[in-house]
Amino acid sequence: AQSVAQPEDQVNVAEGNPLTVKCTYSVSGNPYLFWYVQYPNRGLQFLLKYITGDNLVKGSYGFEAEFNKSQTSFHLKKPSALVSDSALYFCAVRLDTGRRALTFGSGTRLQVQP
Amino acid sequence: EAQVTQNPRYLITVTGKKLTVTCSQNMNHEYMSWYRQDPGLGLRQIYYSMNVEVTDKGDVPEGYKVSRKEKRNFPLILESPSPNQTSLYFCASSFLRTGSTRSTDTQYFGPGTRLTVL
């Protein structure tokens, strides 16, 4: 069985400061890892994914994530937060085979203060 | 514009009254899936489909049905809704490369349907 943990329900940062949203995963097999963002009353928007290769993945809106196999982590980062980054962020994992179901974490609400 | 659409966006109904939530994608994706989102639980997969006439259960299929008669459409059917099916529902789709068991393709999500069952 696969699982994802997002240990923080909420992360607060000041605008202009770096941000990190944490994610750890558990899966047997090769993981595909994703970050999605959800704005109020909107669907999930894809930010970035790790499939293979370089452990640092760059995505939309200046976000990046670092895959760490030994720590089974895939933390989302951004060097300088914007107020408009305030949203709900979901980490997800799936295997490279089978029914391709995404297993999501419970979500982390990011609040960027002006 | 490439997109996944869902209808209705909001629905309030009563226990036992059959309903259908439609999902349509215009990206020629083979793979489609339904998820439900509940507070503190993230999203959980209900059903998925690898192609036309190929559907299978996800993690929480009880109380739901699906069909895939056309590639672009994947409706979610609640034959007899109950209050524990009150939730936010998302449809998603992606490519599924033919001839390979591996697929790196990203799933794209619809805007969601907020269902309340009284």
CA-closest candidate to residue A33, choices A74, A82, A70: A74
Residue B62's pLDDT is what?
96
Minimum mean pLDDT among A2-11, A21-30, A90-99: which range?
A90-99
Contact A102 B45 (CB under 8 A): yes
Mean pLDDT score, B32-46 = 91
Residue B97's pLDDT is what?
63
Mean pLDDT score, A57-86 = 95
CA distance B45 to A13: 32
Contact A96 B44 (CB under 8 A): no
> Is pLDDT at A100 greater than 90 in this prediction?
no
Mutate: best of B43, B45, B97, partner A, most A CBs <10 A: B43
> Would an 8 Å CB–CB cutoff place A7 in contact with chain B?
no
> Is pLDDT at B1 greater than 60 in this prediction?
yes
Residues from chain A that touch B94, judged by Cβ atoms under 8 A, are 100
Q: Which residues contact B11 (CB under 8 A, 6 or more apart)?
A: B19, B21, B113, B114, B115, B116
**Strand stretches in A53-99, DSSP E:** 56-58, 64-68, 73-78, 87-95
Confidence of residue A1 (pLDDT cuts 50, 70, 90): confident
Place of tokens 């089974």: A72
Mean pLDDT score, A63-84 = 96
> Is pLDDT at A57 greater than 60 in this prediction?
yes
Cis before B8 (ω within 30)? yes
Q: Which residues contact B62 (CB under 8 A, 6 or more apart)?
A: none
CA-closest candidate to residue A18, choices A88, A75, A69: A75
End-to-end CA distance of chain A: 41
CA distances from A80 to A23, A61, A67, A88, B11 (A): 19, 11, 20, 17, 39
- More confidently predicted of B35 and B41: B35
> Is pLDDT at B100 greater than 70 in this prediction?
no
Q: Which residues contact B51 (CB under 8 A, 6 or more apart)?
A: B30, B31, B68, B71, B96
Q: Residues of chain B with pLDDT > 70: what percent?
A: 93
